[in-house]
Chain A
Amino acid sequence: MSAPELYGLVLTGGRSRRMQRDKASLEYAGKSQLARAMELLTPLVARCFVSVRTDQLHDPQRAAYDTIADIKPNLGPIGGIHAALHAYPDRGWLILACDLPFLNRATLQHLIAQRANTRVATAYRSSFDRLPEPLCAIFEPRSLKIVEESLAQGQQCPRALLSRSDVELLELPDPRALDNVNTGEEYAAATAALGAPAAAPSPATAAGIATLRRLNVRYFAVLREQAGRSTEQLETQASTPRELYDELRQRRGLTLAPEFLRVAVNDEFGDWRSPLADGDTVVFLPPVAGG
C-alpha cells in the first residue's frame, strides 16, 4: 500500500511567550522565519499550509500562504496539528515549527525518506533529551484519533503524545538542526552563528531561579522616547505589570504616572495586578490619541 500523500504544516500560531515579537516575523539573513520554513518545506510536500489562530487569519504575512485555522483555541502546537489532521484526515502531515533557524533541507529529506507510514508518526530524537521531537515530524492519518483522545483528556503536550505512541524514531543527521530559538539571547546566538547581524544581546543571567521572570517589554510613543528604545528583555523579580512599571520607571526615567496608563500583556489588554508569567510581553500604553 502506498503512503498517504504528504502535506506540510508550518506552525506559527504560538503566542511567542518568550520572545518580544511575533516569532514568525523574526528574520535570519533578511528572511522571516515563516518565509524560510515555507521555502524549505513547500518543494518537499504536495501542499503546504501555515497554521494560524483564528485571530491571525488576516495577518498579511500569514495570509500570503494557504492557512489552516485552529479549531479549538489556546491549545498551542497540538491545536494546529489537530486542525490540520481534521481538515485533511487522509493525508500524512509533516509538521514543522517556524522557529528552527538551523533546519536544513537535508534534515527534512531524511525524515521523509525514513517515513514509516504504518506507524503513528515518524520523528527525530531530540539531541537534547532523546525524546521524540514533535515539531519536525510526520504525523500519519491514524494520529488524529490519538490527538483527539489526548485533547479529551486535557493533555496538550505533543511530545508526551509521541512518547507514548508507536513512533518511528530517527537519529538527527545534524544534531543542531532542530535547536530552536525562544529567547532574545538565543536569537542573538543564532543570528551570530548564521553570520547575520544581531540585536545587542542582553546579558544572560542564571536561568531557573524561581523568583526571577524573564519578561519582554515593548515601548510606544512617549514611553519609547523616554526609554530610548522600542523593546527590551529583562530578568526581574517584578511579579505584576504594576511592579514591573515601577521598576522600569526608575531604571528608564519614565515620567508618566501609572494612573494614566493602561497595560497590555501578550497583545491583549491586561490587568495591573495580575501575575506575570515567564516570557510574557508587556506593553505600557500611554493615553491614546487616534482619530
Chain B
Amino acid sequence: MNHFSLHDIALQPELLRNELQHPACGGYAAFEGWVRDCNDGRTVLRLEYEAFAPLAVREGERILAEARQKFGVEHARCAHRVGPLAVGQLAVWVGVSAAHRGEAFDACRYIIDEVKHRVPIWKKEYYQDGDSGWVNCERCAAAAPQAPHRHGHRTG
C-alpha cells in the first residue's frame, strides 16, 4: 500500500479512511488540514502547494513508518495536496487506525507535526492586497538579522 501520497486533485477522505479499516482496530483518528483565510494577520485568498515529489514521498513514508513503530498502530496514512487550493479546501489528511484510541490520537498528532517540518512541500499564499509570499521563506534572505528564526528544517 502507498502510505504517503501527493495529489493534484481533491482528496477523498472517505476513500482514504476505508484503507485503514482492520478487524483488530477499535480506534480510528484522523486530522484534516484546511486552507485558512488568514495568516500572520493578512487575508489569504488562495494558496499553492509545490512538492519535490520523490523526496517528499520518501520522507513521508519514513514518518509513517516511524509512527507505526513508535505507537504500535495498525495503519497510518497521509495524503497531501499539491497545486492551487481555495480557502476551505482540504490540504492534508492524516488517518491512523489502532487497537485503542490513545495510540491512534498520538500517532496522528506525531505524523502531522513531522510532515509539516520535514517533508519537502512548499506553500505560497496569495493575499487580498495583491501580494504573495512563500510561507517560512520570506525572512530567510542572506541579509536577514541574526535573531533566532523559526522555520521548518530540523537539524541532524
Which residues of A pack against B, CB within 8 Å?
Answer: 22, 55, 58, 218, 220-222, 224, 249, 255-257, 260-262, 264, 267-269, 283, 285-291
Contact = CB atoms under 8 A, between A and B. Distances in A.
B141 A221 contact: no
Contact of A291 (B33, B57, B141): B33
Interface stretch (B13-21, B69-77, B95-103, B113-121): B113-121
Q: Which 3 A-B pairs have the closest CB atoms?
A: A290-B121, A221-B122, A287-B151
A222 B137 CA distance: 7
Contact of A283 (B55, B142, B152): B55
B106 interface: no
Interface string B1-33: 010000000000000000000000000000001
B49 interface: yes
13 contacts: A220-B51, A220-B52, A221-B124, A221-B137, A255-B140, A256-B142, A257-B141, A257-B142, A283-B55, A285-B52, A286-B137, A289-B137, A291-B92
Interface string B33-45: 1000000000000
Contacts of B119: 288, 290
B135 interface: yes
Contacts of A249: 142
Contacts of A261: 140, 153
A257 B54 CA distance: 24
B123 A55 contact: no
Contacts of B122: 220-222, 286, 288-290
A288 B55 CA distance: 12
Given A220-B120, A257-B144, A288-B120, A269 B55 contact: yes
B112 interface: yes
Interface residues of B, number: 39
Interface string B128-147: 00000011110011111000
Nearest to B132: A225
A159 to B, nearest CB: 28
Nearest to A221: B122
B141 A220 contact: no
Contacts of A260: 137, 140, 149, 151, 153
B52 A264 contact: yes
B9 to A, nearest CB: 14
A105 to B, nearest CB: 32
Interface string B59-97: 100000000000000000000100000000001100000
Given A267-B55, A268-B58, A288 B118 contact: yes
Contacts of A267: 54-55, 58
B16 to A, nearest CB: 16
Contacts of A55: 58
Contact of B134 (A257, A268, A286): A286
A224 B57 CA distance: 20
A134 B153 CA distance: 43
A58 B2 contact: yes
A260 to B, nearest CB: 4
Given A290-B115, A291-B91, A256 B140 contact: yes
Contacts of A291: 33, 80, 91-92, 112, 115-116, 121
A58 B60 CA distance: 13
A37 to B, nearest CB: 21
A239 B144 CA distance: 27
B121 A289 contact: yes
Contact of B136 (A255, A283, A287): A287
Nearest to B48: A221
A290 B123 contact: yes
Contact of A257 (B80, B121, B140): B140
A218 B53 CA distance: 12
A256 B50 contact: no
A286 B50 CA distance: 11
Given A55-B58, A256-B137, A290-B116, A283 B52 contact: yes
A290 B52 contact: no
A259 to B, nearest CB: 8
